[in-house]
Amino acid sequence: MNRRKFLSLASAGVVAATAPVNCRPAAAAGNPEAAGVLHDSTLCIGCRSCEAACQSVNAAILPKPENYRIPEKPFYDRSVLATMRRTDFQRFTVVNRYDMEGRRPVHRKFQCNHCMEPACASACFVKALFKTAEGPVLYRPELCVGCRYCMVACPFFVPAYDYDNALNPLIYKCTMCAPRLASGELPGCVSQCPEKALIFGKRSELLKIARERIAESPEKYVDHIYGEHEAGGTSWLYLSPVPHKFLDQPEVGNEPASRLTSGILESAGAAAGILSFLLGAVCFFGGRRKSGAAEIDGARASDGGTHKEVSQGDKEDGQ
Amino acid sequence: MTSGSTDGQGLKRHVKKNGLIFIVLLIGLGLTLLRFTCGIGAVTNLSDRNPWGFWMAFDLLCGIAISAGGFAVASAYYIFGRKQFHVYVRAALTTAFLGYFFEVIALLYEVGQPWRLVFPFFLSQGTTSVLFLVGLCVALYLMVLSGELLPALFERLGWRKARAKAVRLAAPLAVIGAVVAVIHQSSLGSLYLIVPSKMHPLWYSGLMPLFFLFSSLFAGLSMVVVEGMLAHKFMRDCADDRHARDADRAVLACGKGACLFMFVYFILKCVEVAASDNLRHLSSGYGAWFLLELAGGVALPALMYFIGARRGRTGLIKAAAIITVLGVILNRFNVSLVAFNYNLPAAERYFPSWMEIAVSVFLVTLLVIAYRGICSAMPILRTHEDHEKEIR
């Protein structure tokens, strides 16, 4: 990771010649006391209650299942679990089942991970996406231009787009039920989980719980809390009995997204300054005399500015 | 009466000659209608995992790289005083202007709510985004380019005093233009810095900003040569003798410039692959493709440029220019479509729909028509008498 950062800085540095580059901590750094959710997939039975709850508490934003443009089986039908689904403009969360030889199938819940330093927020050029101090990464639809750079940037492939909407296409992703949190309620999915596979709490507390569970029954879990360090840490955390990559939880590296671009962005200004000074200097004192200047002086002459021409000549002699 | 009938025949001949263009325009207009009434999904194969596709790769990344000829040639002429480039200055600036202008047009198709494209400038500035920097540069550079083309416009209008004032702005504008364009070209590479986990390691690099900058420089210079060839072949009516006479000198100069930048780029690429842990990837399919891009799209034409420039063989340089342009197009496609999302299963990968390609063909056709129109109306490929006096 250090090398990568070094290179991007070096690359900016070459453009800037000797730009003073210092990487500040990302502006959107998450609050460790903020809210998060822990999903323990050893407890998840794939009942899809969370999917149903999510739909009903977000009924203002999401369509009813019977109005889906891409039809889906009703929430009580568990046969869809085996098909690999993802979130889209009609649903903020899905649960997929992963069948593995020699063991019980593992269920994995998918929704926005609410990164501590979100790539989407760092990539958004209108600040339509932002991390709140309380934990959720939220979206202001009234600002969204629809460039979809957040979708490119998100290492977890979370933001979804309503491509078939011509007039008001928007990004769709989980809000961690921020309005419910504000009124002291649990996120919809957590509130309806019958197996307590989802726990809501402070991220620091959840990490403690997760570590305890791994320590208590190391045979049950892989020794990894997905989301503790991934992409600089996420508010959602996951425990799994199998390596997370088998659950389509990609290895994304531990560097927060904002650090990947802050260096180059900060040095852009310095690069512009130094480059304009150098080119300006060449232009003034250097080669310009040979050709472009003739053209410009010619223009002066045809402008009728004989006086200027003389003063220009003086300057030339002085050099 | 007789003249009327010949006019009618002329029109018929015109339609016959340009039939293909009419079809392209008709399809393009139809798809435009579809795009703005039924949404992006109706014409593209984009998906939640593949948010940027052919338009981003071709219209934006390739289009802007190719448009770099404008600032490369303007800098060489106005800042570094390389007279050889003179015949190409206005042609390159015109291409750059149209390239950037049509980038903005392409953006209207590409983004979901184009009527909000002013938001990042006036309503809510996302300064942590590389895309914000990109947008800022596009807007700035379009203004600079319009300023750089003012002398040609004033010559056409016969406004001598205004022209004389505009000409004096040429050098400062060239400096500003070069700075903005350098930042813009490199920041297009920086766009992908944020996705290390999604991009194939052979293409992902902290040096992407520099790769994009240098490759745009040689792509731009090569495109200027290619364009000169096309203009010489199809637009003789817009060009004067000087243009034909001085073209070879300019071709040679472009070849030398492009060769230098390709050398730097090639070394950088090689060092990056060797210094990172990427040599092991070279034996894979992606590795072969990467080597093809680097050997066929850079090393080969660079060698041709080198030989062509040393022996003064413009034919070789022109061939190299065509290969270079294709090579850079391949590179931009590789970065944005082949290397990006390389670890998704094949079924989830993106492949453009014919409609996306047709829209791009439509926009390129409009660009060519606009270029022709500007060149025949304004002194771009010919030298106006006022201008003639100055460069003597």
Q: What is the pLDDT of residues A177-210, one digit of tens each?
A: 999 999 999 999 999 999 999 999 999 999 999 9
Average pLDDT taken over every residue of chain B: 91
To the nearest whole angstrom, how far is the Cα of A72 from the nearest Cα of chain B?
A: 17
pLDDT of residue B27: 96
Tokens (6 digits) for B270? 């090689």
Residue ranges, chain A, pLDDT below 70:
1-30, 287-319
Q: Which of B31, B218, B35 is nearest to B111 (CA)?
A: B35
Quickly count: other Cβ atoms within 10 Å of residue A141's Cβ. Answer: 13
CA–CA distance, B330 with A173 (Å, rounded to integer): 34
pLDDT of residue A74: 84
ipTM for this model: 0.90
pLDDT of residue B200: 95
pLDDT of residue B101: 96
CA–CA distance, B318 with A143 (Å, rounded to integer): 47
Pick the CATH number of A2-10+25-260 from 3.30.70.20, 1.10.3470.10, 3.30.420.340, 3.60.21.10: 3.30.70.20
Determine the 3-state secondary structure of A91 from DSSP: strand
* CB B213, CB B60: distance < 8 Å: no
CA–CA distance, B267 with B202 (Å, rounded to integer): 15
What sign for the dihedral angle of Cα A150, A153, A156, A160? positive
Q: Which of B92, B62, B49, B19 is nearest to B360 (CA)?
A: B62
Cβ burial A49-86 (10 Å sphere, 16+ → b, else e): bbbbbbbebbeeebeebeeeeeeeeebeeeebbeeeeb
- B165–A303 CB contact, under 8 Å: yes
Ramachandran category for residue B192: left, alpha or beta (phi over 0 → left; psi -120 to 50 → alpha)? alpha
Within 13 Å and on the Cβ side, how many CA atoms surround B99? 27
B-interface mutation test, from A291, A300, A302, A308, most B Cβ less than 10 A away? A291
- The answer to whether residue B216 is domain-embedded is yes
Which domain, by its residues, includes B98? 24-391
pLDDT of residue B279: 87
- A295–B123 CB contact, under 8 Å: no
Determine the 3-state secondary structure of A194 from DSSP: coil
Percent of chain B predicted with pLDDT > 90: 72
DSSP string of B213-262?
A: HHHHHHHHHHHHHHHHHHHHHH-GGG--HHHHHHHHHHHHHHHHHHHHHH
Fill in the amino acid letter for B85: F
Residue intervals in chain A for CATH 3.30.70.20: 2-10+25-260
- The answer to whether residue B104 is domain-embedded is yes
To the nearest whole angstrom, how far is the Cα of B262 from the nearest Cα of chain A?
A: 17
Quickly count: other Cβ atoms within 10 Å of residue A282's Cβ. Answer: 16
Tokens (6 digits) for A200? 């809501």
Question: Over the Cα atoms of chain B, what is R_g?
Answer: 22
> B236 at the A interface (CB within 8 A)?
no
To the nearest whole angstrom, how far is the Cα of A90 from the nearest Cα of chain B?
A: 12
> B179 at the A interface (CB within 8 A)?
yes
> B181 at the A interface (CB within 8 A)?
no
Chain B residues whose beta carbon lies within 8 Å of the beta carbon of residue A290: 81-83
Tell me how many domains chain B contains.
1
- B196–A253 CB contact, under 8 Å: yes
A-interface mutation test, from B103, B113, B116, most A Cβ less than 10 A away? B113
pLDDT of residue A3: 54
Residue ranges, chain B, pLDDT below 70:
1-11, 14-15, 391-392
Longest Cα–Cα distance of chain B, Å, equals 78
Percent of chain B predicted with pLDDT > 70: 96
Listed in sequence order, the DSSP H helices in B238-391 are 241-275, 285-294, 300-311, 314-333, 354-377, 385-391
pLDDT of residue B175: 94
Option in B40, B114, B213 nearest A15 (CB) = B213
pLDDT of residue A282: 87
- B112–A28 CB contact, under 8 Å: no
To the nearest whole angstrom, how far is the Cα of B317 from the nearest Cα of chain A?
A: 25
pLDDT of residue A17: 40
Tokens (6 digits) for A292? 């472009």
CA–CA distance, A32 with B27 (Å, rounded to integer): 55
CATH of the domain at B278: 1.20.1630.10
Task: Report the residue of chain B nearest A141, measured CA to CA.
Answer: B113
CA–CA distance, B217 with B336 (Å, rounded to integer): 19
Option in A122, A143, A296 nearest B167 (CB) = A296
Tens of pLDDT, residues B116-161: 999 999 999 999 999 999 999 999 999 999 999 999 999 889 888 9
pLDDT of residue B392: 54
- The answer to whether residue B53 is domain-embedded is yes
